[in-house]
């Protein structure tokens, strides 16, 4: 691994958040000012292909990168874009037990988070 790849991997794992390439680039330039966005994208692709991180598309215009490579789903707020993990172990075990060669699956639920729902209710009162 290169110093750039090590840094990108570290940023993703230490954040415990779902980060876009731009988020990762912004953090990386704090420690390595000469890193380019293209280098970030290349390393994200390599790390994803190697199975060290996961990439997912939310339909909100960006791909996000996840430190958690275990089977799980995502709750995505359509208002603020916040992303939360949720456990799908039972579903994964069921699928794995009934499908001879399970390659992968993605589950995302789009919703309005509690904070945004409260803000929408406040706006409605005005």
pLDDT tens readout for residues 73-90: 999 998 988 899 999 989
Residues 8, 44 within the same domain: yes
pLDDT of residue 1: 55
Residues 43, 76 within the same domain: no
pLDDT of residue 108: 87
pLDDT of residue 16: 84
Q: Structurally, how many domains does the chain consist of?
A: 2
Residues 40, 28 within the same domain: yes
Average pLDDT, integer, range 108-115: 92
The CA distance from 81 to 6, in Å, is 27
- Within 13 Å, how many C-alpha atoms sit on residue 102's CB side? 13
pLDDT of residue 126: 56
pLDDT tens readout for residues 8-65: 999 999 998 899 999 999 999 999 999 999 999 999 999 999 999 999 887 767 899 9
The answer, yes or no, to whether residue 125 has pLDDT greater than 80, is no
> Which domain does 29 fall in, by range?
1-69
At 28 the three-state DSSP class reads helix
DSSP secondary structure letters along 54-110: EEEE-SSS-EEEES--SSEEEEEETTT--EEEEE-HHHHHHHHHH-TT------EEE
**53, containing H or E segment:** none
The CATH number of the domain holding residue 122 is 3.30.1490.190
């Amino acid at each position: 691994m290169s110093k750039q790849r090590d840094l990108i991997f570290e940023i993703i794992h230490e954040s415990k958040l779902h980060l876009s390439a731009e988020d990762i680039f912004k953090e990386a330039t704090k420690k390595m000012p000469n890193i380019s966005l293209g280098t970030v994208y290349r390393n994200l692709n390599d790390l994803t292909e190697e199975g060290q991180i996961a990439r997912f598309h939310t339909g909100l215009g960006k791909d996000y990168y996840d430190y958690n490579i275990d089977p799980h789903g995502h709750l995505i707020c359509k208002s603020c874009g916040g992303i939360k993990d949720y456990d799908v172990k039972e579903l994964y075990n069921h699928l794995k037990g009934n499908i001879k060669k399970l390659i992968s699956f993605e589950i995302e639920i789009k919703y309005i988070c509690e904070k945004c729902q409260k803000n929408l209710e406040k706006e409605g009162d005005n």
